[in-house]
């Protein structure tokens, strides 16, 4: 059941925030399980770390006013997709799309919006992969779906976004032109760095796989030689018995 004000009997801010907090916990738990599975089963974990946060009431009200809506529970639920937010930090850009695909394939999660700011960066240079998903929250008497915004980015992208956020906060969204220009240049450098690191990682994996194949081949040859030697010894023992 989708979260609706009044129709569900939900008519207070505290009740609504409980649902969003629960949806965030639900998503956090799923990602932690995925992280453990990657580590134990595949010996490689694309998830470096996970951050989560709940938007404050003041932030929600400011965002609604900026968009021309009155701050109300109904508008909050309908027009705010990032009340509950989770950020997944990865090592490589390939990890981002791998994780996004896994999340979309979970049967009881409905992805209702995707914004790929990696393939289509913002004018500022901001890059990240955003998804808005409806996550089921299981209560004692009903199941309610709440929206959770999921951001997936590399370590380098997160570093850039953190600095850009501080600058925008400092200058109230009106940073000097030369700072905006340099931020854009840094974004290009980060893209080049991510691409280079991904290329190096692929090369390292290919070299590792080659070494594993060569080691397996040497081990097979060693076993064959041992079997041949044992066979020769058996043949010689039979000759001595005659």
User: Of the candidates 138, 131, 55, 120, which has an alpha carbon nearest to the alpha carbon of residue 87?
Assistant: 131
CATH number for the domain spanning 26: value is 3.30.460.10
Q: Identify whether 141 is part of a domain.
A: yes
Q: Identify whether 164 is part of a domain.
A: yes
pLDDT band at 10 (very low <50, low <70, confident <90, very high): low
Residues 94-126: tens digit of each pLDDT: 999 999 999 999 999 999 999 999 999 999 999
Q: Identify whether 118 is part of a domain.
A: yes
Phi, psi angle pair for 68, to nearest 5°? 85, 20
Euclidean distance between CA atoms 44 and 9, whole angstroms = 45
pLDDT at 6 over 70: no
What pLDDT is stored for residue 117 in this prediction? Answer: 96
Q: Identify whether 55 is part of a domain.
A: yes
Euclidean distance between CA atoms 202 and 195, whole angstroms = 11
**In terms of C-beta distances under 8 Å and separation of at least 24 residues, what long-range contacts does 182-191 make, across chains too?**
183/124, 183/125, 184/124, 184/125, 186/125, 186/160, 187/121, 187/124, 187/125, 187/126, 187/127, 187/160, 188/125, 190/127, 190/156, 190/157, 190/159, 190/160, 191/127
What is the domain count for the chain? 1
pTM: 0.82
Residues 179-222: tens digit of each pLDDT: 888 888 999 999 999 999 999 988 888 888 888 888 888 888 88
Q: Identify whether 219 is part of a domain.
A: no
Euclidean distance between CA atoms 194 and 94, whole angstroms = 10
Q: Identify whether 198 is part of a domain.
A: no
Residue range(s) defining the domain that contains residue 31: 13-176
Q: Identify whether 192 is part of a domain.
A: no
Q: Identify whether 114 is part of a domain.
A: yes
Residues 78-95: tens digit of each pLDDT: 999 999 999 999 999 999
What pLDDT is stored for residue 7 in this prediction? Answer: 53
pLDDT at 9 over 60: no
């Amino acid at each position: 059941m989708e979260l609706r004000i009044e129709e569900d009997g939900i008519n207070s801010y505290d009740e609504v925030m409980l649902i969003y907090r629960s949806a965030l916990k639900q998503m956090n738990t799923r990602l932690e399980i995925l992280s453990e599975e990657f580590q134990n089963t595949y010996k490689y974990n694309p998830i470096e770390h996970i951050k989560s946060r709940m938007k404050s009431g003041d932030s929600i009200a400011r965002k609604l006013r900026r968009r021309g809506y009155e701050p109300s529970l109904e508008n909050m639920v309908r027009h705010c997709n990032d009340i509950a937010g989770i950020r997944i930090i990865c090592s490589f850009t390939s990890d981002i799309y791998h994780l996004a695909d896994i999340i979309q394939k979970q049967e009881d999660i409905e992805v209702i919006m995707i914004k790929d700011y990696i393939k289509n960066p913002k004018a500022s240079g901001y890059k990240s992969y955003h998804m808005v998903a409806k996550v089921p929250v299981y209560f004692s008497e009903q199941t309610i779906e709440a929206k959770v915004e999921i951001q997936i980015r590399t370590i380098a992208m997160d570093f850039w976004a953190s600095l850009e956020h501080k600058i925008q906060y400092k200058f109230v969204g009106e940073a000097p032109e030369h700072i905006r220009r340099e931020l854009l240049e840094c974004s290009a450098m980060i893209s080049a760095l991510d691409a280079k690191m991904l290329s190096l990682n692929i090369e390292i994996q290919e070299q590792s796989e080659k070494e594993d194949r060569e080691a397996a081949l040497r081990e097979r040859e060693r076993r064959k030689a041992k079997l041949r030697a044992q066979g020769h010894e058996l043949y010689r023992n039979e000759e001595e018995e005659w």
